[in-house]
C-alpha cells in the first residue's frame, strides 16, 4: 500500500515551487518573442487608456455641440469630431473601457461555464459526456455571430446583453478544449493514486485535474478576448450592443458610415482602434501559446 501512495507525495505536479519555475521559464521564453511583447505592449496601452481616461482628456464623451460638427483633426480635436460635435479622441479613449470590459468578462464567463461542463463531461463520461457533447455540437452548428444576434434579439439590445450573448456562444470552445485535456489527465498514474487514498471527486477535479488542464484555456482565453471584442463591435454596428450615446467603437462605425467620403476620420479612428487592440491580443496570444505549449520547446 505504501508503494502505491508514495508517488502522490513525490509527484512534481503538486510541487508549488516546480509550478512556479515552469511559469517563470514560460515567461522567460515569452520575453524572447518580440511580436508577443509588442502585442502585450499594445494591450497594456489600451488598458491604461481605459483606466486613465479622465486624466487623458477633459472633454465629455457624450456632449453635443452643433457648432463643432464634423471638424477635421486639428490641435484642439486630435481625431476630429463627429456629426454631433463630440470629440472622437475622447470617445476612442472611453470606448477602450467598453471593449476591454466586454472582452475580459465575456471570456471569463465562457471559461467558467465551459470549463465546468468540460470537466464533468471528460471526467465522468458515459451519458453525461454524450449529453454535454451533443449540446456543444448543436451550438457549434450555428454561425457564432448569428447565434449572438438571436440571443440579443431575445434579451433586448444593450451592452450587458451583448456581453451575455458573446459569453454564451463561446462556451463550447472552452468546454471541448477542457474536456479533451481532462480525458488525457485523468488517465495519469497520480490521479489513480489519489483515488486510492479516498480523495473525493470534487477535490480531485478542482485540486488536481483542473490545474493540470488549464494551460490551453489560458492561451485560448487570450485569443478569445480579441474575438469577443470583434463580436461586440459587430453587434454594436448592427445596433444590438451599445445604444446611442455610448462610446463603443462598433457603434461609432455604424453612426459614421454615411460620412465615409465627406468625413472619413469618423470611421478611420474607431476602425483603427479595433484593428490595433485585436492585433495586440492575437500577437500576445500566439506568443503565449508558443511559450506554454510543451511541443514548441
Q: How far apart are the first and last CA of the chain?
A: 37
Q: What is the dihedral of CA 11, 291, 224, 282, to 10 degrees?
A: 180
Tens of pLDDT, residues 63-91: 788 888 888 999 888 999 998 889 999 99
Domain count along the chain: 1
What percent of the chain lies above the pLDDT cut of 70?
Answer: 91
pLDDT the model gives residue 205: 80
Q: Which residues make beta-bridge pairs with 87?
A: 81
Confidence of residue 191 (pLDDT cuts 50, 70, 90): confident
What percent of the chain lies above the pLDDT cut of 90?
Answer: 46
Tens of pLDDT, residues 90-121: 999 999 999 999 999 999 999 999 999 999 99
Tens of pLDDT, residues 254-278: 888 888 888 999 999 999 999 999 9
Q: 10 Å Cβ neighbour count for 140?
A: 14
Whether pLDDT at 16 is above 60:
no
pTM beyond 0.75: yes
Question: Phi and psi at residue 211, in whole multiples of 5°?
Answer: -60, -30
Whether pLDDT at 157 is above 50:
yes
Whether pLDDT at 289 is above 60:
yes
Q: Is 244 left (phi over 0), alpha (psi -120 to 50) or beta?
A: beta
As given in the structure block, the three cell numbers for residue 239 are: 445596433
Tens of pLDDT, residues 159-169: 999 999 999 99
Whether pLDDT at 6 is above 70:
no
The 3-state DSSP class for residue 294 equals: helix
Tell me the C-alpha distance between 24 and 21, whole Å.
Answer: 5
Q: Is 66 exposed, middle or buried (0-12, 13-18, 19+ CB in 10 A)?
A: exposed
pLDDT the model gives residue 19: 58
**78 belongs to a structural domain:** no
**11 belongs to a structural domain:** no
pLDDT the model gives residue 13: 45
Radius of gyration of the chain (CA): 23
- Give residue 275's domain range: 34-63+86-296
**267 belongs to a structural domain:** yes
**16 belongs to a structural domain:** no
Helices (H), the chain: 2-10, 16-31, 34-51, 53-56, 88-124, 126-140, 144-155, 159-169, 171-185, 189-196, 201-204, 215-237, 249-256, 265-292
Tell me the C-alpha distance between 21 and 269, whole Å.
Answer: 42
Confidence of residue 3 (pLDDT cuts 50, 70, 90): very low
CATH of the domain at 160: 1.10.3720.10
**263 belongs to a structural domain:** yes
**76 belongs to a structural domain:** no
Amino acid at each position: 500500500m505504501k508503494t502505491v501512495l508514495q508517488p502522490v507525495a513525490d509527484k512534481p505536479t503538486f510541487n508549488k515551487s516546480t509550478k512556479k519555475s515552469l511559469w517563470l521559464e514560460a515567461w522567460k521564453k515569452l520575453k524572447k518573442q518580440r511580436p508577443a511583447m509588442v502585442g502585450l505592449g499594445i494591450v497594456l496601452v489600451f488598458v491604461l487608456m481605459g483606466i486613465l481616461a479622465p486624466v487623458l482628456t477633459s472633454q465629455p464623451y457624450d456632449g453635443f455641440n452643433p457648432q463643432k460638427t464634423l471638424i477635421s483633426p486639428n490641435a484642439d480635436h486630435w481625431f476630429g469630431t463627429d456629426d454631433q460635435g463630440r470629440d472622437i479622441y475622447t470617445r476612442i479613449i472611453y470606448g477602450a473601457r467598453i471593449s476591454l470590459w466586454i472582452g475580459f468578462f465575456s471570456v471569463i464567463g465562457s471559461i467558467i461555464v465551459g470549463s465546468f461542463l468540460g470537466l464533468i463531461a471528460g471526467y465522468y463520461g458515459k451519458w453525461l459526456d454524450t449529453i454535454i457533447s451533443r449540446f456543444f455540437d448543436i451550438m457549434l452548428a450555428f454561425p457564432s455571430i448569428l447565434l449572438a444576434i438571436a440571443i440579443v434579439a431575445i434579451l433586448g439590445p444593450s451592452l450587458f446583453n451583448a456581453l451575455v450573448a458573446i459569453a454564451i456562444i463561446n462556451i463550447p470552445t472552452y468546454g471541448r478544449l477542457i474536456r479533451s485535456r481532462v480525458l488525457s489527465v485523468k488517465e495519469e498514474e497520480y490521479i489513480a493514486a489519489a483515488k486510492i487514498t479516498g480523495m473525493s471527486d470534487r477535490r480531485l477535479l478542482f485540486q488536481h485535474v483542473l490545474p493540470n488542464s488549464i494551460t490551453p484555456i489560458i492561451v485560448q482565453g487570450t485569443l478569445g478576448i480579441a474575438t469577443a471584442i470583434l463580436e461586440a463591435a459587430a453587434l454594436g454596428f448592427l445596433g444590438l450592443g451599445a445604444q446611442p450615446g455610448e462610446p463603443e467603437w462598433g457603434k461609432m462605425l455604424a453612426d459614421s458610415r454615411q460620412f465615409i467620403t465627406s468625413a472619413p476620420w469618423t470611421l478611420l479612428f474607431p476602425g483603427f482602434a479595433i484593428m490595433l487592440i485585436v492585433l495586440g491580443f492575437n500577437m500576445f496570444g500566439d506568443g503565449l501559446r508558443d511559450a506554454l505549449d510543451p511541443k514548441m520547446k
